[in-house]
Amino acid sequence: MSEKLQSHFEAGFELPVDNLAYTGDVVFNGDGIAHFVLDLDNFDVSEAVSARKKSTTLVLRAEDGQHTAQVFPSGNETQWEYTTVDGDAIFVQGDIEACKKYIVTGEIPEDAKGNLDIYVPDNAKHSADGRLKYDQLQAEGYEIQSGTENFFGTEAKVYSPKALMLFPPHTNTKPVCIVKDGKQSKFFPPNAAFKIADDGTISGINPDAIDTWEVMPGASPAPAHNEQEPETP
């Protein structure tokens, strides 16, 4: 099916009755399922709470000329390669020892266990080149987990920056879509969560990933997930 926008009247659907605002359009995903287009300009954040990812990520202080990439050992492939400059913050996910080998050599370790995700965030606010620096982790909103930074200040585990989050049951009761000019449409099933960035940008989180987030102390607790069977349009 096409991703071309249609009015909900033309498509023969009634708009959802929930806490979100809709443009009145629908778009079909690749499986032919109708998704209602969110009205991002009138997104109600009154029930949103401050939250962050529950898990920490290992971060290393880079030296000049080290290597980062998404690494797929089974296919001997890499994507999004980047060569570091001194002081970059390298985020490491996957087989840690294999990641450290790749960072130094730029070669896929033969004994790597699964895929490797090694990257330097490129959206830093306090960096001239946009690349996150290790010494600016806290200034960028990351929290270093107590007791995890090594003696040399070159390795630590960090929590991701806090974000404003909207959780079920204050979200969608039917499939929804985020449509932005020039970008691929994003589709979400009922009972998704939504992240509101500092600049107002809204992104979605699938229901099966909501449990990876935690509400910050002092914030109103996130409501329980809506366990009802998803409605079909």
- Contact indicator for 215, 221 with CB cutoff of 8 Å: yes
* Amino acid 17: pLDDT: 77
| pLDDT for the residue numbered 3 | 55
Answer whether residue 7 shows pLDDT above 80: no
* Span 79-90, pLDDT tens digits: 999 999 999 999
Quick one: pLDDT at residue 74?
87
Q: Is the pLDDT of residue 2 over 90?
A: no
Section 212-217 average pLDDT:
90
Whether this prediction's pTM lies above 0.85 is answered by no
Lookup: tokens for 206? 């699938």
Question: ∠ at Cα 13 (8, 19), nearest 5°?
Answer: 80
- Mean of the per-residue pLDDT values of the chain: 87
The pLDDT tens digits of the residues spanning 98-145 come to 999 999 999 999 999 999 999 999 988 888 899 999 999 999 999 999
pLDDT in tens, 16-46: 778 899 999 999 988 889 999 999 999 988 9
pLDDT(158) > 80:
yes
Model confidence at 220: pLDDT above 70: no
If DSSP states are collapsed to H, E and C, what string results for the chain?
CCCCCEEHHHHCCCCCCCCCCEEEEEEECCCCCEEEEECHHHCCCCCCEEEEECCCEEEEECCCCCEEEEEEHHHCEEEEEEECCCCEEEEEECCHHHHHHHHHHCCCCCCCCCCEEEECCCCCCCCCCCCCEHHHCCCCCCEECCCCCCCCCCEEEEECCCEEEECCCCCCCCCEEECCCCCCCEEECCCCEEEECCCCCEEEECHHHHHHEEECCCCCCCCCCCCCCCCCC
More confident of the two residues 225 and 131? 131
Average pLDDT over residues 185-194: 94
| pLDDT higher than 50, residue 203 | yes
Please check the confidence at residue 222 and state whether its pLDDT lies above 90: no
Cβ atoms 85, 62 nearer than 8 A: yes
